[in-house]
């Protein structure tokens, strides 16, 4: 992938070692509009480069990031950004943008702090990508 300046699709950055993040990516792959949303692990050089270009030199591994048209948002706003790329009815969940980010992020941070514990409880297994999904990473 190229830098987001020349990349037409929104980008979602996530912790590749997090089961909840993996479940989120699986959800977005299943429900997003065809090939619109692309993904990259926060641990990748690509993510570090794009985020650094946007002023985020040391990304928080507990946060998801969403980059679209040169604007980067994190945490709950990143999730809402990903949902904005989904088909209805999931797209409608972006109505939660009316809730102030500090309140949304309180819930996000609560889940993020306990994400590995929650992942172990859910017994979620990492997804094996289908050939047609690989181009989105």
Reported as a single tens digit per residue, the pLDDT across 33-62 is 877 899 999 999 999 999 999 999 999 999
User: Tens digits of per-residue pLDDT, 62-118?
Assistant: 999 999 998 999 999 999 999 999 999 999 999 999 999 999 999 999 998 887 777
Strand partners, 71: 68
Tell me whether residue 136 is exposed, middle or buried, using C-beta atoms within 10 angstroms of its C-beta: 0 to 12, 13 to 18, 19 or more.
buried
Distance, in Å, from the CA atom of 22 to the CA atom of 128, rounded to the nearest integer, reads 10
In the chain, where the domains are located: 11-125
Q: What's the token pair of residue 103?
A: 């309140």
Instruction: Say what the pTM is.
Output: 0.82
């Amino acid at each position: 992938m190229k830098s987001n300046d020349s990349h037409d699709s929104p980008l979602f950055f996530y912790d590749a070692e997090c089961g909840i993040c993996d479940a989120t990516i699986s959800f977005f792959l299943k429900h997003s509009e065809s090939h619109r949303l692309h993904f990259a692990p926060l641990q990748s050089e690509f993510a570090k480069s794009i985020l650094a270009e946007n002023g985020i030199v040391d990304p928080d591994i507990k946060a998801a990031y969403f980059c679209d048209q040169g604007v980067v948002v994190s945490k709950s706003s990143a999730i809402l950004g990903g949902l904005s790329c989904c088909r209805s009815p999931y797209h409608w969940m972006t109505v939660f943008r009316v809730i102030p980010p500090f309140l949304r992020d309180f819930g996000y941070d609560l889940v993020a702090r306990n994400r590995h514990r929650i992942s172990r409880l859910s017994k979620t297994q990492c997804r094996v990508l289908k050939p047609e999904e690989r181009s989105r990473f």
